[in-house]
Amino acid sequence: MGSRGAPASLVAFRLLALQALYMYCVAGDIEEDFLLIQDKSFSNVTVYDREVSCGQHRPGLFPTETWTCNDIRVDGMRIAYGYYPGLGADSKCTETGGFDELRELCEQLLKKSVAFTGKLWGAQVSNATCDFTKDTRVTLNMVIGGFEWQEMGPGHGMIETLQCTAFPKEEEHGGTVL
Ligand SMILES: *[C@@H]1O[C@H](CO)[C@@H](O)[C@H](O)[C@H]1NC(C)=O
Ligand SMILES: *[C@@H]1O[C@H](CO)[C@@H](O)[C@H](O)[C@H]1NC(C)=O
């Protein structure tokens, strides 16, 4: 699963595909219950010298362990949202060119906020807008020797929700049996 910004329709498709894959996996074992797990939020942590905060958590149920950051902000700023020109339905959301190291951001949040030691499966943008903002936005970029936040001026596209999904385990505990 790519971590580059993706159109909302693609994100929805990926989540569906994830769910379908999971159901296919458990279908082979008739003894297995179909478990959905409630997602969790992150606490505020410093990632590459800036504070990443999550707002009011809007919980949901997911086929694998998931952490959701609603109203995600970096030092109070929005993360820019965009994808490769020509890929999406909305031609405005192309300023980042799809470059935004969201997978790395998930890795850092999982390490620093929840001490997760498993394997990250996907970093998904599950809520974003291509609307114009006059506010300064940020992107996380790969640079020589690591990663750094870079600021972007006014323009189109902001991320509202970032979701970090863990690889499915053989057995999930503490889930809701449906
Ligand atoms: C996290 O940061 C946000 C934004 O700065 C702030 O409103 C919130 O109170 C902080 N949460 C905690 C638990 O410190
Ligand atoms: C997406 O974010 C907006 C702005 O915060 C919010 O009003 C809306 O309810 C969110 N949509 C979903 C599906 O979570």
Asked whether the predicted pLDDT for residue 32 surpasses 60, the reply is no
What is the residue-averaged pLDDT of the chain?
A: 81
| pLDDT score of 94 | 75
Please indicate whether residue 148, judged by its CB atom, sits closer than 6 Å to ligand 2: no
What's the pTM value of the predicted model, to 2 decimals? 0.77
Type of residue at 25: C
The binding-site residues of ligand 1, defined as CB within 6 angstroms of any ligand atom, are: 44, 53
| Residues 69 and 42: beta-carbon distance below 8 Å | yes
With respect to residue 177, please indicate whether it lies within any of the assigned structural domains: no
- The answer to whether residue 19 is domain-embedded is yes
Tell whether ligand 2 has an atom less than 6 A from the beta carbon of residue 127.
yes
Q: Is 160 in the pocket of ligand 2 (CB under 6 A)?
A: yes
Task: Return d(Cα 96, Cα 28) in angstroms, integer.
Answer: 42
Residue 172 lies in a domain: no
**Model pLDDT, residue 168:** 84
- In a domain, residue 132? The reply is yes
- Categorize the per-residue pLDDT at 82 as very low, low, confident or very high, splitting at 50, 70 and 90: confident
Residue 111, in any domain of the structure: yes
Kindly give the distance from the C-alpha atom of residue 171 to the centroid of ligand 2, in angstroms, as a whole number.
Answer: 32
Is the residue at 173 inside a domain?
A: no
